[in-house]
Amino acid sequence: MRLATVIKELGQEGLVEEIEKHVKTTEMTSITRLYKGEKLLLFRDVDHVDMPVATNVVGSRSLIRKFFNTDSDEEVYKRLLEACNRPMRCNEEVKFNDSSFSVEVGANLSKIPMIKYYRDDPGYYITSGIVIAKGPKSGIYNASIHRMLILDRRRMAIRIVPRHLWQLYREAIEEGRSLPVAIVIGAHPLVLIASSSSPPFGVNEIEVANALLNGKLEVTRTPNYKLIIPAQGEILIEGEITQEMADEGPFVDLTGTYDIKRKQPVIHVRNIWISDEPIYHAIVPASREHMLLMGLYREALIWDYVRRVVPRVIKVRLTEGGCGWLSAVIAVSKSTQGDGKNAILAAFAAHPSLKQVVVVDEDIDIDDPYQIEWAIATRVQASRDIVIIKNVRGSSLDPSADQRILITDKMGIDATMDITKPKEKFIKVPLEINKNVKRILSELGSD
């Protein structure tokens, strides 16, 4: 199922907000980042873009739960981890002519939307492209999302961190050749989520997506390189990651600040196809969608690691204030005095980029920053409950860290109740909230 079909189905359920007014691309960025609703956003008239633009596709937890067909965050974590551990081979292969990529537009990047998200960006970026590659020697497939800076009509600089795609790229370079890639924009949201995950090297994220889709993912082979890709999407770009290097960045990353400029490999485009009446997917940098796509798999890992050392994990959040990456809050059911600190250590082990973690009791709603601060204010003694770990591996996204060698300090706060004291000392006195109270508060404008 391509993105346009997903949007149509969501629209029938009232889960799409359509913006008909003309907007500049930078205004689209502001609207998406400031929007606090739960719906997908569809911009019908974006400056210099000749197709509708969807943002916030995976931009809310309610939409994620809908794609997973569950009301439970825990079930999302379980299914995602299970799919990464047990990917499913794709058997629904169709001919390329039967895929959604029906219109060939040639090797010309100006034929697809050109979006500059922030005024000081160095150029136009593709942010939602799923890059699919196959190792020329190993035969290993990888699918992952990478930002790409458009350099001219046939070239893009791609940001590659030293992980799985980088290994396949080095495999090709060591053989004196470029690495063929297929870039898919506008696939099913579960394909996006799978491609944003980090299973072990050798696990094909397209097969992870197939497992999430219960074996129903249709795939096809690209015309030139015969790479296996989702058969349903909005845009397909075939090209090669070459030995040529170019400046990439500065780019606005998860923190909402500009990342540094780097020399990165250049993709030479061979051909482009689009679907009939395509909808373009733009992942707005530093938006909730950006954070959720990057953080969901890490949340699942934190949940999995922490549940092994405490009786029960109630909820996990990589917080929006922590850029969906650097800070976590975990609610646990505590049975022994050391559970909070064990949860802290498990969280850092699960997500090495994590810089700060707060552990609270199950009576605290971790989606409410006021309640988290209240727990810290009333349940923490700094000399006893704060864990500081110095000079350890951190995240390149943290501007306060040593971004050259990725060294940072980390802090854990055990904001759980001291079980050596009576529990009632830490529990808020309940308020009587009935219809009459609600009516009067409403009249006072304080509902």
Q: Mark whether 402 is an active-site residue.
A: no
CA distances from 360 to 299, 343, 363 (A): 16, 10, 8
**Candidate list 47, 71, 98, 253, residue with the active-site label:** 253
In Å, what is the CA distance from 343 to each residue of 80, 96, 187, 360, 413? Answer: 21, 49, 36, 10, 10
Q: Is 150 helix (H, G, I), strand (E, B) or coil?
A: strand
Dig out the tokens for 399 from the structure: 């501007």
What is the rounded distance in angstroms from the CA atom of residue 96 to the CA atom of residue 56?
29
Interatomic CA distance for residues 189 and 212, integer angstroms: 11
Helix axes 339-350, 288-306, angle to 10 degrees: 130
Strand 327-333 versus strand 356-361 pairing type: parallel
Instruction: Say what angle helices 205-212 and 73-85 make with each other, to 10 degrees.
Output: 130
Q: Which of 172, 182, 181 is nearest to 243 (CA)?
A: 172
Non-local (6+) Cβ contacts of 289 within 8 A are 32, 55, 56, 57, 58, 59, 283
Beta strands in 309-376 (DSSP E): 312-318, 327-333, 356-361
Taking the C-alpha atoms of 76, 79, 83 and 88 in order, what is their torsion angle to the nearest 10 degrees? -120
**What is the rounded distance in angstroms from the CA atom of residue 118 to the CA atom of residue 114?**
13
Q: Which residue carries 């009067």 as its tokens? A: 440
CA distance linking residue 103 with residue 87, whole number of Å = 31
Locate 212 and state its tokens. 């999430």
Residue 357's φ and ψ, nearest 5 degrees, are: -140, 135
Measured CA distances, 422 to 335, 364, 378, 419 (Å):
14, 18, 14, 7
Beta-carbon neighbour count of residue 442 at 10 Å? Answer: 10
CA angle, 312 then 318 then 321, to 5°: 135
- 8 A C-beta contact, residue 214 and residue 188: no
Active site residues: 253
